[in-house]
Amino acid sequence: MPGLLLGDEAPNFEADTTHGRIRFHDFLGDSWGILFSHPRDFTPVCTTELGRAAKLAAEFSKRNVKMIALSIDSVQDHLSWCKDINAYNGEQPTEKLPFPIIADKNRELAVQLGMLDPDERDKDGMPLTARVVFIFGPDKKLKLSILYPATTGRNFDEILRVVDSLQLTAYKKVATPVDWKAGDSVMVVPTLPDEEAKKLFPKGVFTKDLPSGKKYLRYTPQPE
């Protein structure tokens, strides 16, 4: 099945959305971008996800991240659905969210991007669009991909966390360890020699002693 792999450039598709027609690369501009997909409008899990995404829109904006969703129904259906989503959030039932929703009525983009769930099907026997999260860098290349089945809702706190990690590690010679959160210590990448690490990280580099005697677990406070 066609799809995107890490490092692939995002296709510069054109699409109708709840915010008008877009060309994807122009929409992203110099920002980071998140494209996340949904099986169908007016479905329960999707409504909760889009509601949460709308609540977090300001957090993504602070990180220079543009969000855009995709669902297989029409723009008109999307606009009507947005009223429900806003009402779910306890807000005025307006027709738009802080980010656009792409109309993919014929599943063309879902197929092109490899978003179809092979196991979950609709009443007509068609594969549902899976819950994909694609994160693109300012270079338009795919930095992270998470593929959930159609039945499992996303964790947007985790998506914010991985954005923080991706942006930090894109510009600093560090990696983020298990369960890392912004502000925690980070790990010095293995390819960086000790002497260079000491110069790059003036707050100090701390090595954990291991039975092997190998000094590969090197930590430093999160760099600015």
- pLDDT tens figures, 74-89: 999 999 999 999 999 9
Q: What is the mean pLDDT of the chain?
A: 93
pLDDT given at position 82: 98
- The answer to whether residue 2 scores a pLDDT higher than 60 is no
Which entry of 139, 157, 184, 194 is annotated as an active-site residue?
139
> Residue 154 and residue 148: Cα distance in Å, rounded?
7
Both tokens assigned to 184: 């925690």
Could you confirm whether 77 is annotated as catalytic?
no
Q: How far apart are CA 100 and CA 127, in angstroms?
A: 24
Closest among 68, 57, 134 to 101, alpha carbons compared = 68
Active site residue 82: no
pLDDT digits (tens, 9 = 90+) for 21-41: 999 999 999 999 999 988 889
Annotated active-site residue in 41, 46, 77, 82: 46
How confident is residue 127, by pLDDT bands cut at 50, 70 and 90? Answer: low
pLDDT at 123 over 70: no
